[in-house]
Amino acid sequence: MSSVSTTLASSAPRWLPTGAEAYHRMLAALAKARHSIRFEYYIYRADEIGDRFRAALTAAARRGVRVQLLLDAFGCAGLPDDYWQEFKQAGGQPRTFNPLTWRLFALRNHRKLLLIDDAVAFVGGYNIGQEYDGDGVTRGWRDLGVELHTPVAIRQLAAAFDGMFNASRPHHRLFRRIRYPLHHPLGAGRNGPVLLSGPRLGHNRFRTQLLRQLKPARHVQIISSYFVPSFRLRRALRRVVRRGGTVELLLAGKSDVPLALLAGRARYGSLLRAGVRIWEYQPQILHSKLAIVDDTVFAGSSNLDARSFGINYELTVRFDDAAFAASGRKLFAADQHEAVEITLPDWRKSQTWHRRLRGLWAGFLLTKVDPWLAHTQLRVLS
């Protein structure tokens, strides 16, 4: 095992299996912050949860903590104009990523990160909003996060945040500056556990490492909220089964993005025929992002779709830790009890000509039109 893997294993990362637990631990950590808070999220709501986090961030700023806040402009578009006024008066530094314009609206920062005192970090799928608060079964979306203390990961996460925060200074053209901060400072972490991706970062490191891990894989379990896999990923999953391995997918039965549900289900056929097993989560909207490949765990903000693989800025952490993978498999098994298995006969029966047509059209929009639009906007900045 590599030194990185050993460090990760010895640092005992902690699963945050529900929104209620994640928010409790995040708010408790914010209350103890003494030096610095880096806070980066895609969606932020002006609701009870958002107000609690705003109060905690403001209180930290008042006691002299350096609090830097970075929110995606699309994801926080519903906030009142004066929402952060008290926070700024306390000394907090709020910034938005890529202010909304018609020329650049497709390019978004989908990362979720809370880093406190360069000592503890929270990553995963959770945004900041009331819909995530609950147990994922009786109340709140089903999501997943990780609390970690690994020094090498903490350093890379800090560099990732600093690069994006500095690139989001007001009154400047964002992406003209974003090329250097995201290429250079993070290059030192190229071989570490933090996998960054985005349209200005070259190849997608999460996708590359996931495909590499699948080549010799024997036991694969994936939870994905927006599952619109590329041909290469579908082929890699089928090959695991044909070599005698197992692939289990836990996907959304309910979704806040109906197009993703339609496009994903249209791709079940070749996977089911190859022997891949698929379940759909039933009680609540599924928003988790998790891949367990033998003893390797990938957890973070990235979905398995064209937007996460080629458009959004994303953040995933890799854990080479057998014990952590085993505990992750227990979470997978618990969610299976709340899911319905989709068999090949069931899928064939559900795929009427009308549904197949809608699925193909949804897939075309998500895998062809959306990337084309984003890349067109990027060319404006070249």
Q: List the one residue out of 76, 67, 82, 133 whose CA is nearest residue 100.
A: 76
Q: Which of 72, 133, 143, 289 is catalytic?
A: 289
Contact 25, 102 (CB under 8 A): no
Tell me the two tokens of residue 247: 């692939």
List beta partners, residue 148. 121
Contact 68, 148 (CB under 8 A): no
**CA pair distance 298, 280, nearest whole angstrom:** 20
Q: List the one residue out of 208, 113, 126 whose CA is nearest residue 154.
A: 113
Q: Which of 47, 162, 256, 294 is catalytic?
A: 294
Tell me the two tokens of residue 95: 């910034």
Q: Which of 112, 143, 335, 370 is catalytic?
A: 112
Is residue 118 annotated as part of the catalytic site, yes or no? no
Q: Which of 110, 321, 335, 370 is catalytic?
A: 110
**CA pair distance 37, 138, nearest whole angstrom:** 32
Residues whose CB is less than 8 angstroms from the CB of residue 336 and which lie 6 or more positions away in sequence, other chains included: 248, 250, 279
List beta partners, residue 115. 38, 121
Sign of torsion over alpha carbons 216, 221, 223, 229: positive
**CA pair distance 334, 327, nearest whole angstrom:** 11
Q: Which residue type sits at 11?
A: S
Is residue 294 annotated as part of the catalytic site, yes or no? yes
Q: Which of 72, 133, 143, 287 is catalytic?
A: 287
Radius of gyration of the chain (CA): 20
Residue found by looking up tokens 């903590």 in the block: 65
Q: Which of 47, 88, 117, 375 is catalytic?
A: 117
Is residue 287 annotated as part of the catalytic site, yes or no? yes
Is residue 117 annotated as part of the catalytic site, yes or no? yes
Q: Which H or E run contains 93?
A: strand 93-97
List beta partners, residue 297. 292, 319
Is residue 289 annotated as part of the catalytic site, yes or no? yes
Is residue 171 annotated as part of the catalytic site, yes or no? no
Which residues carry out catalysis?
110, 112, 117, 287, 289, 294
